[in-house]
Amino acid sequence: MDARFAETVEFLRARIPVPPVVGVILGSGLGDFAAAVEDRLEIPYAQIPGFPASAVVGHAGTLVAGTLAGVPIVVLSGRIHFYEGHPMPSVVTPARVLGLLGCRDVVVTNAAGGIDQSFSAGDLMLISDHINLFGTNPLIGPNDETFGARFPDMSDAYRSDLRTLAKAVARRVKVPLKEGVYVGVTGPSYETPAEIRAFRALGAHAVGMSTVPEVIALGHMGVGVVGVSCITNMAAGVLKQPLHHEEVLETTRRVKDRFVRLLTALVAAMGEGRSPDRLVVVPSRKASAGAGRAKAGAKPKPGSKAKARPKAAARRGATAKSSPRRKR
């Protein structure tokens, strides 16, 4: 591991009493969620060795550690943007640190412009996939094998089981949740109407200036990701009005109660049954499937009264065991 990551992780582990199992990255104007964390420890990014500073209005630039609904959690209140002039490895440093601290799953959030004309400002969108239009990739350069493979798979970047969980949670807490594809661009200028028409033709539903690099870096490490966009305004050309950052912040203030309610319930659901005292090695899909088949086909011990089940049910059980987690 790069020495600068070792120093950062050592600094934080010495201060965070319980290793986190879930991480959250908050987007523009969404920092109110951090106030819901209990027994929280707040550390400004400027005090963390190796952490770049966040200088965008609406981003506090603070790491918050504690518990939420009994789940050990670390929240990044404020993110690092490529358009601030940071090199891409610095942009993804905070996300990488979440994985190194022990987070097996991370919720990424952002403020986004609505491309889908059925959306309205204030909608929340579950990210099903993304389109990388940053023109670069955080994995360019020598590969650090301690993080992951040279060519990581991105076919399930926003984990399907976590998306299913998010939709179930949204229904339970009665928070309407759209779903769509997020396109990431560099910014800092907003997009032109022609660009938005092109993005719509590519299949994008929302656009923003973050998230994609972090998701690639987390996927590289085998960390599960689920993403939620707050549609803070409609993208250029959808409505006949100019775009400005103040509208983004105003919309996030308006939806903060719904947003906090959804994320709190989602973190609680993601943390159920997770042990905070140790890291869990994520098994490969092939190994998990083999274990599932072996268990399904195992003979009962002498004297046991285990009930037989139909073969189809056994196959479903093996599939259920193999699908939730995968190693990239």
> Could you give the CA distance from residue 173 to residue 186 in angstroms, rounded to a whole number?
34
Cα 251 to chain centroid distance, Å, stands at: 21
Q: How many CA atoms lie within 13 A of 136 on its CB side?
A: 15
**Beta strands 105-114; 224-234: pairing state:** parallel
> Could you give the CA distance from residue 70 to residue 165 in angstroms, rounded to a whole number?
18
- Structure tokens belonging to residue 56: 């965008």
Rounded to 5 degrees, φ, ψ at 159 are -50, 130
Tokens 């934080």, located at residue:
12
Strand segments, DSSP code E, in 178-260 are 178-184, 206-208, 224-234
Residues with a known catalytic role: 28, 59, 81, 83-84, 111, 209-210, 233, 245
DSSP 241-258: S---HHHHHHHHHHHHHH
Q: Collapsing DSSP states into helix, strand and coil, what is residue 70?
A: coil
**Beta strands 224-234; 124-132: pairing state:** antiparallel
Evaluate whether 91 touches 218 at the Cβ level (below 8 Å). no
What letters, b where the CB count within 10 A reaches 16 and e where it falls short, cover 179-189?
ebbbbbbebee
